Amino acid sequence: MRDRRGYPGRGGRARRRSLWLPAALAAALLTACGGPGDDAEGSPAFPPDTGRGYVIDPLPPETLRLDGAAGSLDELLRTVERGLAASDTARLDDLMIDEREYREILFPAFPASHPPINADFETLWVLQYPDSYRGLRRLLERYGGKDIRVTAIRFDEPDQDFVNFVLHETSRLDVTVDGEPRSGVRLFGSVVRVGDQWKVLTYPDHPDDPS
């Protein structure tokens, strides 16, 4: 299953932006993060550590510190469970990648920030954050105050190693909601791992509940 209609880790149903986003950039963003470019393998611009046509510089430890991160994927899942049960908007928002982390860690590594697209930070951020925060509000409207237990997690896409972080893209969860089992629920979109720090990249604008 694939949901790459936008930018890395959108994790929700894509909504058309063509009314205000320049057409060339909108088209380029559709495939900006799907993997290696067209450069010939073995060329100087094809670093062996990424398999991409550009270099990703390692960042210092102080830059890679994430605020509010979980210490493991299991801890992230338990934090989401507790946050929903308590309708804790602040904690769930803290668990999401913030503007500083996106600007300094994620943005320089994403293909859309490099030629031929060269999207600026503000363009990618405005594509992500408003929809993601709206998705968090809708998630709390649907599941806030409920007893959520995550029993399994899977990701639609292979993990992507961006040198300073790993992107686990487009999650699907099996859960129980007040004891009722549900499959393929979207409590959040993609997950970012920086060392042993785990954060949510997005909350889907339209949380899916296939049951």
Reported pTM: 0.76
Q: Kindly state the helix (H) or strand (E) to which residue 71 belongs, with its residue range.
A: none
> What are the residue boundaries of the structural domains of the chain, listed by start?
1-35+70-211
d(CA 116, CA 131): 26
pLDDT per residue as tens digits for the range 69-87: 999 999 999 999 999 999 9
pLDDT in tens, 144-198: 999 999 999 999 999 999 999 999 999 999 999 999 999 999 999 999 999 999 9
Q: What are the E-state strand segments in the chain?
A: 148-155, 160-161, 166-168, 171-177, 180-185, 191-194, 197-200
Distance CA 81, CA 98 (A): 20
- Is the pLDDT reported for residue 68 higher than 50? yes
Between vectors from CA 125 to CA 47 and to CA 112, what angle results, nearest 5°?
30
